[in-house]
Amino acid sequence: MSFADHFSGVSAAYAAFRPRYPDALFDFLAQAAPERDAVWDAGTGSGQAAVGLARHFRHVIATDASPSQIEHATPDPRVSYRVCPAEACDLDDRSVDLVTAAQALHWFDRSRFWVEARRVLRPAGVIAVWTYIMLEIAPRIDVIIHRFYHDVVGPYWPPERRITEERYQTIEFPFAEFAAPNFVIEQPVTLDDVAGYVRTWSATRRFVQQHGHDPVDGLVAELAQAWGAPQQSRLARWPVAMRVGRVE
């Protein structure tokens, strides 16, 4: 399977505008892992999850198939960034306590990734994969963003991404699964932040490539009427869906 790079052209924006995961999520994973020694964060992007994991684990190996994403990743003394695909990386057998894939699993060849995760995990090691769902701000704003998501850029979403809309509940998960809490990302955003975030969507990028203009300009104009002052911050919420399990 060749690597379809949907993000290299937008890596800096990805680092700036993608939401950051709550501390409680990393607390939960640290408590679930057999030790707090080493983690592999696959498909790390610009390192949002890797940096959170580094607060709890001695060493995080954060990998991505996109050199541009790694180039824009957030530096951290406990994080080692490497360019390599999630399905075949150069980690040693039984070398990590935890494997994570944050908002990335839908781009992987899952059957190969499961094998690789099982190979690198230590006995009783934990694997956690999660995705976040469409952001929620306020009903009037949400209706406009949902319409953009489905009607304007909807036809341009890569088919792999469908499993995120299904909250990863329809995929195979060949591990001893246990329940995860219901995590929610919450952070204040301005209208510019929302525009920057929507421009990182792979569907938005594909729309621009095909049509030669940015559909987010029209979205911002429509949102402005419901938003109020553009620099006014509003609280955005992204519900998180997680599958977590243990190797036996």
Per-residue pLDDT of 227-241, as tens digits, reads 998 889 999 999 999
Give mean pLDDT, residues 8-14.
54
Alpha carbon distances (Å) from 107 to 10, 43, 113, 233: 16, 9, 11, 32
Each residue's pLDDT tens digit, 77-110: 999 999 999 999 999 999 999 999 999 999 999 9
Report which of residues 20 and 156 the model is more confident about: 156
Report the CATH fold assignment for 8-246: Rossmann fold (3.40.50)
Residue position matching structure tokens 């850029």: 153
Give the separation between CA 110 and CA 88, rounded to whole angstroms: 12
Residue 164 amino acid letter = T
Each residue's pLDDT tens digit, 75-85: 999 999 999 99
The confidence score (pLDDT) of residue 12 equals: 60
Return the domain boundaries, the chain. Answer: 8-246
Asked whether 199 and 14 are in contact (CB, 8 A), the reply is no
The confidence score (pLDDT) of residue 244 equals: 98
Asked whether 70 and 8 are in contact (CB, 8 A), the reply is no
The whole model's pTM is what?
A: 0.89
pLDDT for 6 beyond 50: no
Could you tell me how far CA 216 lies from the centroid of its own chain? 21
